[in-house]
Amino acid sequence: MTTDRDPVALAGRPLEELPATELARLLGEHTRKARLRVLVRDEILHVSEAIDTSLPVDNLLAGYAYPEALAVTSFAALTEQELVAILEVNLDQARLHDLVLAEVVGYKVVGSWPLLRSLTDRAGIEAEVAASETPNAELRFHSWINFDFLTSPMSSIPASAGVRAALLGTIYIMLITMAVAVPLGVGAAIYLEEYATPNALNNLIETNIRNLAGVPSIIYGILGLAIFVRAFGHLTSGAFVGVTDSNGRTIVSAAMTLALLVLPIVIINAQEAIRAVPWSIREASYGLGATRWQTVRRQVLPAALPGILTGTILSLSRAIGETAPLIVVGASAIIFTDPSGPFSKFTALPVQIWQWTARPQDQFRDLAAAAIIVLLVLLLSLNAAAILLRQRVSKRLS
Amino acid sequence: MTNLNGRYAIQLHDVSVFYGHKPAIQHVTMPVVSRKITAYIGPSGCGKSTLLRVMNRMNDLVPSARVSGEVLFHGQNLYGPEIDPVEVRRRVGMVFQKPNPFPKSIYDNVAYGPRLLGVRDRAALDQIVAQSLKQAALWDEVRHELKKSGLALSGGQQQRLCIARALAVEPEVILMDEPCSALDPISTQKIEELMRDLSRHYTIVIVTHNMQQAQRVSDYTAFISVRKEERPNEEYRWGELVEYGSTMELFAHPQQEETADHIAGRFG
The answer on A324 and A182 residing in a single domain is yes
In a domain, A299, yes or no: yes
Contact yes or no for A37/A82 (Cβ under 8 A) = no
Judged by CB atoms closer than 8 Å, whether chains meet at B113 and A289 is answered as yes
Does A359 have pLDDT greater than 90?
Answer: no
Which domain range does residue A76 map to? 7-108
**Each residue's pLDDT tens digit, A252-276:** 999 999 999 999 999 999 999 999 9
Judged by CB atoms closer than 8 Å, whether chains meet at B58 and A286 is answered as yes
> What average pLDDT does the segment A165-190 reach?
93
A286 touches chain B (CB under 8 A): yes
In a domain, A134, yes or no: no
Chain B residues closer than 8 Å to A197 by CB: 63
Helix H or strand E encompassing B191? helix B185-198
> What average pLDDT does the segment A356-381 reach?
87
pLDDT for the residue A75: 81
Q: What is the mean pLDDT of chain A?
A: 83
Among the candidates A108, A134, A154, a domain finishes at A108
**Each residue's pLDDT tens digit, A116-169:** 777 788 788 778 777 777 767 777 777 777 787 888 777 777 777 888 888 999
Chain A residues closer than 8 Å to B89 by CB: 286-289
Task: Report the alpha-carbon distance of residue B171 to residue B202 in Å, rounded.
Answer: 8
**Each residue's pLDDT tens digit, A288-332:** 999 999 999 999 999 999 889 888 888 888 899 888 899 888 887
In a domain, A131, yes or no: no
Phi, psi angle pair for B84, to nearest 5°: -95, 115
Phi, psi angle pair for A52, to nearest 5°: -80, 105
B55: left (phi over 0), alpha (psi -120 to 50) or beta: alpha
| CB atoms near residue A104 (< 10 Å) | 22
Percentage above 90 pLDDT, chain A:
29
Catalogue the long-range contacts made by B83-88 (C-beta closer than 8 Å, 24 or more residues apart).
B83/B57, B85/B57, B85/B60, B86/A289, B86/A290, B86/A291, B87/A289, B88/B56, B88/B57
State the pairing for strand pair B203-207/B173-177: parallel
> What average pLDDT does the segment A65-78 reach?
81
Buried b (16+ CB within 10 A) or exposed e, B145-160: ebeebbbebeebbbbb
Does A242 have pLDDT greater than 60?
Answer: yes
Judged by CB atoms closer than 8 Å, whether chains meet at A288 and B58 is answered as no
The interface predicted TM-score (ipTM) is 0.91
- Chain B: which residues have CB within 8 Å of chain A? 56, 58, 61, 63, 86-87, 89-90, 93-94, 96, 98, 100-103, 112-113, 116-117, 149, 151, 162, 165-166, 169
Closest to A37 (Cα-Cα) out of A57, A10, A19:
A57
In a domain, A62, yes or no: yes
The answer on A194 and A76 residing in a single domain is no
pLDDT beneath 70: ranges in chain B: 1-6, 267-268
The answer on A261 and A194 residing in a single domain is yes
Among the candidates A67, A87, A108, a domain finishes at A108
The answer on A222 and A91 residing in a single domain is no
The answer on A97 and A188 residing in a single domain is no
A288 touches chain B (CB under 8 A): yes
The answer on A250 and A390 residing in a single domain is yes
Q: What's the sign of the alpha-carbon dihedral B66, B69, B74, B80? A: positive
Minimum-distance CB partner of A280 among B61, B89, B96: B96
Q: Which domains does chain B have, with CATH numbers?
A: 8-263 (3.40.50.300)
Judged by CB atoms closer than 8 Å, whether chains meet at B100 and A278 is answered as yes
Q: How confident is the model at residue A182 (pLDDT cuts 50, 70, 90)?
A: very high
**In chain B, where do the E strands start and end?**
8-19, 22-33, 37-41, 65-73, 76-77, 92-95, 173-177, 203-207, 220-231, 234-246
Minimum-distance CB partner of B166 among A278, A288, A290: A288
Contact yes or no for A389/A362 (Cβ under 8 A) = no
pLDDT for the residue B2: 44
In a domain, A118, yes or no: no
**Each residue's pLDDT tens digit, A382-394:** 888 888 877 887 7
Percentage above 70 pLDDT, chain B:
97
Q: How confident is the model at residue A237 (pLDDT cuts 50, 70, 90)?
A: confident
Task: Report the alpha-carbon distance of residue B176 to residue B211 in Å, rounded.
Answer: 15
Closest to A91 (Cα-Cα) out of A128, A51, A39:
A39
Number of domains in chain A: 2
In a domain, A256, yes or no: yes
Among the candidates A108, A135, A152, a domain finishes at A108
Does A335 have pLDDT greater than 70?
Answer: yes
Contact yes or no for B166/B198 (Cβ under 8 A) = no
CATH number for the domain harbouring residue A381: 1.10.3720.10
Judged by CB atoms closer than 8 Å, whether chains meet at A284 and B100 is answered as yes
Does A88 have pLDDT greater than 70?
Answer: yes
The answer on A231 and A87 residing in a single domain is no
- Which one of A199, A285, A288, A291 makes the best mutation probe of the B interface by having the most chain B beta carbons within 10 Å? A288
pLDDT for the residue B268: 45
Does A365 have pLDDT greater than 90?
Answer: no
pLDDT for the residue A333: 67
CA A15 vs CA A10, A93, A146, A160: distances in Å: 8, 10, 21, 14
pLDDT for the residue B51: 94
Beta bridge partners of B157: none
- Beta-carbon pairs below 8 A across chains A and B: 62
Minimum-distance CB partner of B149 among A286, A290, A398: A398
